[in-house]
Structure 1
């Protein structure tokens, strides 16, 4: 009997009389049910997976004592292994020999235990037995169960089917006369492909696939070109706890989909029908010769245009909004590109699991606008449509290689989303901006047998990282993937190569990259460069935490472990020093932990009790960031000692961690946590005027812009973006994530942010939001906008702000005003341009005064130089007119820097 579970109403149950699970063929009725899962043979028991295969022959049962071990197998998942009784329901058992073996680092995290080996004669049977239920049992001398567990399967599958990692064309390949389907599913018992003429019509055919025992790949070639059609797979497979199931599932290698990802789309991505006019003749801008040339603007597709009245209604929130070159938003991006911005990094545009694509509900914005600035009603109204408003940052991947449909004007059409995403890329390239993509291969939206799970419904227990009991690790928020497993690493690499080759993506930002192995990321770099025919820049979050922390499972792609790889990681050193505190500050810490630009010691806000020594340490960490956080740079520290940055402490880690500046991504704000404007609402003294608040934000921008390495900015940072204090706006809707490209409003004080992540701090937030003096004026926004563009232009004007190597930084960057006698509120840096390509100047001196008062800094070594204000700052229409008050006394080498001002002198 086949028991069906389905979200569709048409099919409640399917009964196949007289057929065993191995012979129950899928039919067209299977194909036509969304969310279909048939239980072909229910599980007799659910067991933890406390043991793991080390390879095809040996396995490890951690902490297991001596005893008699057998591996029981059942094609119908009928095994019952209860302590104190013999095993029932098995088709047979394999004897295992206990022995000693060196555990590879990949499995050392499990700990010591019994290492068990199959007899050599049994090895050949294992490929077939993996297609059923396997239970490892420790028995007493009478054959009664002492303990039982299932076995984590990845080690065996990676050994048995290593050749699958070389299969170049997983997924679907349509040609003029045929279409080939390939799916890696080595533990499946049967696989068939359902094909459809449309995204919502009935199935046209169901075709069984053939199994290749060498690779574990199921395949079929149909004698027709199905380009433009749709498909799904029916996979019969054993899933622990569910039994033998038949899953109707999409393809991990899907390149597009229909509405709400119900069916995968068949497409030749090189076909002319999927290319916008001019696609093949429009190259990416050649503005980045080295990774340090990158200056990045992080932007969410929906945020970009949903609030822009200059965009046609049909295109708001869509890929196609970027094609309206006369809109306020596109004019803003074009101006940034002219100033020197090189890249727009898009928050995820792959298929997102949590966003409905058919219809978006939105709250009544007219009512929202009429509410008080500190009201909690706004977040209540936004919360009513939280699950149906089509808003999410997108860190919940469903299909890694298919464009998200909610950003398409016609999500039901698998072709339209491909074309429109390419149109967006073309539009950004046309205004001189390269396109980066935020990718999240560290987890999936869901795992196991959930309806919106893909990987686990095809190869259960393989693609996700498991803990010592076999449960999926969730340290990243969701179901962690295991890119250390060969085919998950391949899926990630193949996916990135597809985006780079077929969508001309120029760079990638890897979410929680520290959860990937360094070796896989380095191999990915080589493969993606080859696929694209050019170098693709890779950066990512190198945070060290979770079950992989400190190299527990592999050498990570984390800050310290990526040293020397050329892959960039986000630096928290300068970030925390500049804005104060840490990434997750809450409660009184939001007020008390002032930073370098917002008053640490020199302008206390009444809640902080920080010392001058803390200010001096922060100034040193700012210099660390300005020097690219490279390990070898010698810095004269606040106590007068000269130490390499690798020898300076940052929260128990080396402050300098990179081998080259291109391995450092400098930032003070991104989509996570509060915006800097919102943090400053807490940390600056309440008496700080709105004009000074804008100046403080631009001081942070100056530090980031002048820092060696990659410069990274959150969209709206340059127009004082506020999210009304929201620390986690990933599903806070358009209301809390708006951008105003008309520069009239920064949206501070538009209601208390959603209670789920902010409610515990409402008592602190209410008076802040209710204070009208804290809201930016249009004049403040215009000042920040223009000053930011000036800073970008200064960075772009000279390669001295974008040095390529650690040695060049050591030779050409010098800090003055350091040591015990320094004025700690002023940073003075000098860059030597003698003989350096693209330097434009013999030397550059930059000074950043974060204090409320002007400062005079004597630098005798800089006397008798021909310094003048940088041409960008020495013009009538400069963004920051105060810089024109800055002075350089040639006779004494003394610089005068106005209050809260960053100034650049050139020779």
Structure 2
């Protein structure tokens, strides 16, 4: 995810103007008023929403005292409810009876209050009344207002229109001789379909749509196959505070769009004309991932991949089609990783993004940027000038969940082009043996309410987003949180994931802030995508526990501590923080003081803080937690000598072990968020550490991640010492601070102070580092990291012992040596028992990771007399790390000698038959 500081001009408040006169529902002129909606009937007032519907007939008003309650309704949004006076401007009122009914668990977060019930005679009217303004009023005996509130609608709509959850044809469905359109808009008063011949042509027709009271769906059928045309909907709906408005909107189920998402594209994704040659034969590489722990993932941004690659043709740089250029430096790099054992490329968001212009990209003068000093602040000033127009963003600003992003297409104006080119990208990656994963962000939208880039809330106001106790949209994720616990928002997420699986051959998904979604919804999604693919689709995500849903406040979350047993993986911060030190949000002196296991904690202090041997040994224990896959029941001999299950070891007030199986843990030390590890090490390693040793430290972290049970996850460029010139949040820092160099000559450390908005307060710390040429790696250092990383992938891929399937496997086959109070805390020593294990390749494996600045000897007497030899990959003539070949094993004493800052693997061959 990205912590967003600002959303730019696109999120500015929308000014509503009256339509004069309002166009009739069938008038094509109404379809050409892109942008500002018409106010058909302005609201008399904006009400908060302190009450909530529980179902179609009952509602709750938390903390409200006893009184006389009425539900007032108005078709013109004219209700005035001022304290001390009778209600004015209503068409009528429905009496409500207070009951002793218990508040359902799903609404317990609201707090206690009277449950109010409609009379049985009014129940049949309530669906229609939801199409206008509804205000809940508490009155005195004389009918004067004591208090008034709007009512949150989700509970009623989910009950009234539950059957809509089973619909399979929302959106546009072209067929021979006809095209059907369906949109779920149960509170809309009227909906008209607007169709266009192109992305810029005036409307060809405005077709009134029909309402189905059973499902809440509006539908229309046009007697022609409109494939290749475009459409929008004109939705007349009540919006609290705005009145009755006519919103001209795209479709939440849009499968493609025109430039900048102005109109939705009509397409049958099964149409042969949208299939690149060979698409019907496309499939992920066979048997590369047979179980979730087999996954090793490279997280990659589409634009980063090729925009800086001179071996890619100019027209394809930064585009989906760059992946089709098989001989480019970037594709050669990915192919080499695939051959080494990498299984998946996970693409940062590639659905339609709200904050990326899809044409006319403006970029700063790179020649001028290159000429500036390494610690200058001018680079960030120049890139800041084009921040909103440079077509760069990570993409955590969802606009349309099921349409490919247009800025990555060679022609954003053509709705078909992005579909075909996305598929070409998938085929190209499959062709070099890599599966394709998507980073998806269903936990929020870029905008809500009547904002011009709001889709969901302008169709069914107040439904799709999670609201607080006063009816405001929650924003704990950074932006407008969606409510995937509501039937139709959960359905939208599941339908979208199914579409990407079925029509784009996506093999795995990474869910941003997955802990904001219900576990039950994620499990339903798992079943649906598996069925769509005809095989298991791997799901991983961020299981952080925070915000309004924290600790199960609204539902059982898809979070670290709540997903165990589901088979869905979550990112583990246990090993991450222990390995690199500190936490995800470190700033200021903490970036210096909070050293970690690989960058000097206690054994190589940088002088910024007092550190103890006990802290180092605690970090070593957490590294072992990671190496054991963070499985709950694994027994670890801790630094005190006590044997404790991982779930009984403390990690910041949480259990260090949280997973039921290793595949539920995603191990990482760096991803798109925060500084790269190379940049963190610029702060945390002692200043005198050589560039060669900095590369070694990076590969120590890689070894820990590669040898850890569970999923191995790496940020693109981690293997070539990627730097973002110390930028802690490069989500909109442009190409300059996000570059990758597939020629291996530069890692881009020291290319200017990073953008001031997120980094300015630490410029005093950054300037001397960026100006220090000794901190910048030479091409030889980058090559060392590249080749060593590939060797680590080969070692992991070569034995299932690094990819154990079950918690029982981990408990039975993984054993740590060099533990307890007498340990050498700078060395991890572990043994993997391969006896009888499918795919083990060896009878036994011993790996050792020495993070110290000096050689270390580790005696393991119980391993004496066993015929261990250095792993074939590490003893090969072309091994990436020549120092590893200096490691020794004394068979007589069971003593291993490990060179400084080196990870080594010893293997015992299987007995010959």
Give the shorter-chain TM-score range.
over 0.9
Counterpart CA distance in 1 for 2:879 and 2:472 is 58
In the alignment, the residues of structure 1 paired with residue 494 and residue 609 of structure 2 have an alpha-carbon distance, to the nearest angstrom, of 47
State whether structure 2 residue 363 is matched by structure 1 residue 362: yes
Unaligned runs of 5+ in 1: 1-5
Q: Does 1:189 align with 2:194?
A: no
**Correspondence 1:780 to 2:785:** no
Look up the match of 2:618: 617
Indicate the residue corresponding to 1:601 in structure 2: 602
**SS of residue matched to 1:106:** helix
The corresponding residue for 1:163 is: 163
Paired residue for 2:238?
238
How far does the alpha carbon of each residue in 1:683-740 deviate from its partner, in whole angstroms, 9 at most, with x for none? 0000000000000000000000000000000000000000000000000000000000
Q: Give me the whole-angstrom Cα distance separating, in 2, the residues matched to 1:459 and 1:762.
A: 46
1:209-358 pair list within 5 angstroms = 209-286=209-286, 287-358=288-359
1:883 lines up with 2:888 in the alignment: no
Give the 5 Å matches for 1:92-241. Answer: 92-241=92-241
| Separation (CA, whole Å) in 1 of partners of 2:436 and 2:532 | 17
Other structure's SS at 1:456 match: helix
Q: Does 1:49 align with 2:54?
A: no
Q: Does the 8 Å contact 1:320/1:424 carry over to 2?
A: yes
Partner Cα distance (2:102, 2:813) in 1: 50
Deviation of 1:624 (Å) = 0.3
Q: Could you tell me which residue of structure 2 aligns to residue 558 of structure 1? A: 559
Whether the 8 Å contact between 2:25 and 2:191 is mirrored in structure 1 is: no
Does residue 16 in structure 1 map to residue 21 in structure 2? yes
Whole-Å Cα distance in 1 between the matches of residues 25 and 32 of structure 2? 15
Deviation at 1:101, TM superposition (A): 1.5
CA distance in 2, matches of 1:105, 1:831: 46
Gaps of 5+ in 2: 1-10, 909-913
Match of 1:643 in 2: 644
Corresponding residue of 2:442: 441
CA offset digits 1:293-331 (Å, max 9, x no partner):
000000000000000000000000000000000000000
Tell me how far 1:32 sits from its aligned partner.
1.3
Q: TM-score, normalised by structure 2?
A: 0.97
C-alpha distance in 2 between matches for 1:36 and 1:475: 28
Matched, 1:409 2:414: no
Matches of 2:328 and 2:146, distance apart in 1: 71
Where in structure 2 are the equivalents of 1:418-433 lying within 5 Å? 418-433=419-434
Once residues 428 and 273 of structure 1 are traced to their aligned partners in structure 2, the CA distance between those partners, rounded to angstroms, is 21
The separation in 1 between residues aligned to 2:544 and 2:500, in whole angstroms, is 25
Cα deviation 1:15-71 (Å, max 9, x = unaligned): 238x9xxxx425211111221411000000001001000000110101111111100
Equivalent residue of 1:847, what SS?
strand
Question: 1:506-517 residue pairs with structure 2 within 5 A?
Answer: 506-517=507-518
Structure 1 Cα separation of the partners of residues 171 and 820 of structure 2: 61
Cα deviation, residue 609, structure 1 = 1.2
**Contact preservation (8 Å) 2:19, 2:39:** no
CA distance in 2, matches of 1:484, 1:641: 43
1:495-515 deviation digits (Å, cap 9, x = unpaired): 000000000000000000000
Q: Distance in 2 between matches of 1:161 and 1:532?
A: 29
Partner Cα distance (1:775, 1:745) in 2: 8
Alpha-carbon contact 1:30-1:36 (below 8 Å) kept: no
What per-residue deviation string (whole Å, max 9, x for no partner) do you get for residues 549-569 of structure 1? 000000000000001100000
Native 8 Å contact 1:357 1:405 kept in 2: yes
**How many corresponding residue pairs?**
894
Alignment of 1:529-544 (within 5 A): 529-544=530-545
> In structure 1, what is the equivalent of residue 3 of structure 2?
none
Aligned partners of 2:102 and 2:115 also within 8 Å: no
Distance 2:442 2:390 in 1: 25
Alignment of 1:444-459 (within 5 A): 444-459=445-460
Per the TM alignment, residue 431 of structure 1 is displaced from its structure 2 partner at its CA by: 0.2
Instruction: Quote the RMSD (CA, aligned, Å).
Output: 1.1
- Pairwise mapping of residues 830-849 of structure 1 onto structure 2 (< 5 A)? 830-849=831-850
- CA distance in structure 2 between the aligned counterparts of 1:360 and 1:37, rounded to whole angstroms: 28
The residue matched to 1:873 in structure 2 has which SS? helix
Q: Is the 8 A contact 2:398 2:444 kept in 1?
A: yes
Q: After superposition, give the CA deviation of every residue in 1:150-173 in whole Å (9 maximum; x if it has no partner).
A: 000000000000000001111111
Shift of 1:282: 2.1
- Structure 1 match to 2:501: 500
Distance 1:496 1:901 in 2: 42
Task: Work out whether residues 594 and 608 of structure 1, in 8 Å CA contact, stay in contact via their aligned partners in 2.
Answer: no
What does the per-residue CA deviation read over 1:874-898, in whole Å, with 9 as the maximum and x for residues that have no partner?
1111000000000000010000000
Counterpart contact for 1:849–1:900, Cα < 8 Å: yes
Distance 1:218 1:682 in 2: 58
Distance in 2 between the 1:12 and 1:672 partners?
41
Check conservation: 2:18, 2:40, Cα contact below 8 A.
Answer: no
SS in structure 2 at match of 1:124? helix
- Tell me, in whole angstroms, the C-alpha distance in 2 between the residues paired with 1:861 and 1:200: 76
Q: 1:13 offset after TM fit, Å?
A: 6.7
Cα distance in 2, alignment partners of residues 482 and 384 from structure 1: 36
Deviation for aligned residue 1:130 = 0.2
Instruction: Determine helix, strand or coil for the equivalent of 2:875.
Output: coil
C-alpha separation between the residues in 2 aligned to 1:519 and 1:282? 31
Superposed, 1:456-471 pairs within 5 Å as 456-471=457-472
Q: Which residue of 2 aligns with 1:3?
A: none
Contact preservation (8 Å) 1:81, 1:148: yes
Task: Name the SS for the 1:838 alignment partner.
Answer: coil
SS of 1:811's equivalent?
helix
Distance 2:599 2:669 in 1: 13
Secondary structure at 1:348's aligned position in 2?
Answer: coil
Which position in structure 1 is the counterpart of 2:667?
Answer: 666
Distance (Å, rounded) in 2 between the aligned partners of 1:197 and 1:535: 40
Mapped pair 1:678 → 2:683: no
Moved more, 406-415 or 531-540: 531-540
Matched, 1:716 2:721: no
CA contact (8 A) 1:50 1:151 kept: yes
Q: Is the 8 A contact 1:855 1:899 kept in 2?
A: yes
Q: Does 1:706 align with 2:711?
A: no
Mapping of 1:848-887 within 5 angstroms?
A: 848-887=849-888
SS in 2 for 1:211: strand
What residue number does 1:749 align with?
750
Aligned ranges 1:477-492 → 2 under 5 Å: 477-492=478-493
8 Å contact kept, 2:17–2:36: no
Which residue of structure 2 lines up, in the alignment, with residue 520 of structure 1? 521
How far apart in 2 are the matches of 1:270 and 1:451?
31
DSSP-derived class of the 1:712 partner? strand
State how far apart, in whole Å, the 1-side matches of 2:568 and 2:103 are.
Answer: 30
Aligned to 1:37: 37
Residues of 1 paired with 2:222 and 2:410: CA distance?
32
The ranges of structure 1 where at least 4 consecutive aligned residues each deviate by more than 3 angstroms after the TM superposition are 11-14
**Corresponding residue SS for 1:570:** strand
Distance in 2, matches of 1:694 and 1:777, equals: 10
Aligned twin of 2:5: none
Distance across 2 between alignment mates of 1:522 and 1:240: 34
Q: CA deviation at 1:12?
A: 8.5
What corresponds to 1:81 in structure 2? 81
Bigger drift between 101-110 and 54-63 goes to: 101-110
Give the TM-score normalised by structure 1: 0.98
Q: What's the CA shift string for 1:155-207, capped at 9, x where partnerless?
A: 00000000000011111111111100000000000011001111111111111
Q: Secondary structure at the match of 1:831?
A: strand
